[in-house]
Amino acid sequence: MSHPAEPDTPSAYEPTTRTVPTRSRERASYDRELVHSILDGAYVCHLGFVRDGAPVVLPTLYARVGETLYVHGSTGSRPLRMAGQADPGLAVCLTVTHVDGLVLARSAFHHSINYRSAVIHGTAYQVTDPDEKRMALDALVDHVVAGRSADSRPANAKELAATAVIRIDLAEVSAKCRAGGPNDEPEDMALPHWAGVVPVAPAYGAPVPSEDLADSVALPDYLAALG
């Protein structure tokens, strides 16, 4: 589940020293709609932070609600405990990447991939308000499969106590994309090597019911629509 920005929200994020790339700057974008589409179209993010003086990067689920990203995990998770410190919170860098194609050039040097990525810098804080926490958990479930939170048992008190949620505001944000074919050197054009793009796209298989699922439980429409 995701929510659009408010009508009066600027159409682009303001670039900062951390969001302007040092190379291939022409591929960078701060367009809010593009950033949202990249975030909303993936399932896994990579959350980076510093622990005991060393960098750590963890893959995890997330969901966007307006201009906020929510990330969940166990209350025993180190980054979630660190984000629970109200002041100063946890400095993080969160990334999301889509691979759209394999770019095969005539030269090994110019091989590449077509991609769309988003990078978010900010401070993560643990969500302590019960209503916001429940809303965030519903958003996380619906981000995986839209409509699923209304078609499953909500977390009980014990499960809520064992689950932590952190929030990161979308303020220092950038996108970076590559599209198109290989950029071969003019002198390589006559080489006898295939060049072009192999498209890459996600695909859903047919849902496989649990072995202990009752025969009376039909496949929901929102799952059938994935195919």
Q: Which domains does the chain have, with CATH numbers?
A: 25-224 (2.30.110.10)
Provide the 3-class DSSP secondary structure of residue 210.
coil
**Tens-of-pLDDT digits for all 227 residues of the chain?**
555 555 567 899 999 999 988 777 788 999 999 999 999 999 999 999 998 899 999 999 999 999 999 998 765 566 566 665 556 789 999 999 999 999 999 999 999 999 999 999 999 999 989 899 999 999 999 999 999 999 999 989 898 888 899 999 999 999 999 999 999 999 999 999 999 999 999 999 999 999 999 999 999 999 998 87
Provide the 3-class DSSP secondary structure of residue 75.
coil
For residue 78, what pLDDT is reported? 61
pTM here is: 0.88
Q: Model confidence over 69-81: pLDDT tens digits?
A: 999 876 556 656 6
- Residue 191 CA, distance from chain mean position: 39
Q: Model confidence over 118-160: pLDDT tens digits?
A: 999 999 999 989 899 999 999 999 999 999 999 999 989 898 8
CA separation for the pair 83, 138 (Å, rounded): 21
Q: Model confidence over 182-193: pLDDT tens digits?
A: 999 999 999 999
CA separation for the pair 211, 227 (Å, rounded): 21
| 196 Ramachandran zone, left/alpha/beta (phi>0; psi -120 to 50) | left
For residue 217, what pLDDT is reported? 95
- Rounded to 5 degrees, what are φ and ψ at 38? -65, -45
Tokens of 141: 């479930």
CA separation for the pair 82, 50 (Å, rounded): 10
The terminus-to-terminus CA distance of the chain in angstroms comes to: 19
For residue 21, what pLDDT is reported? 82
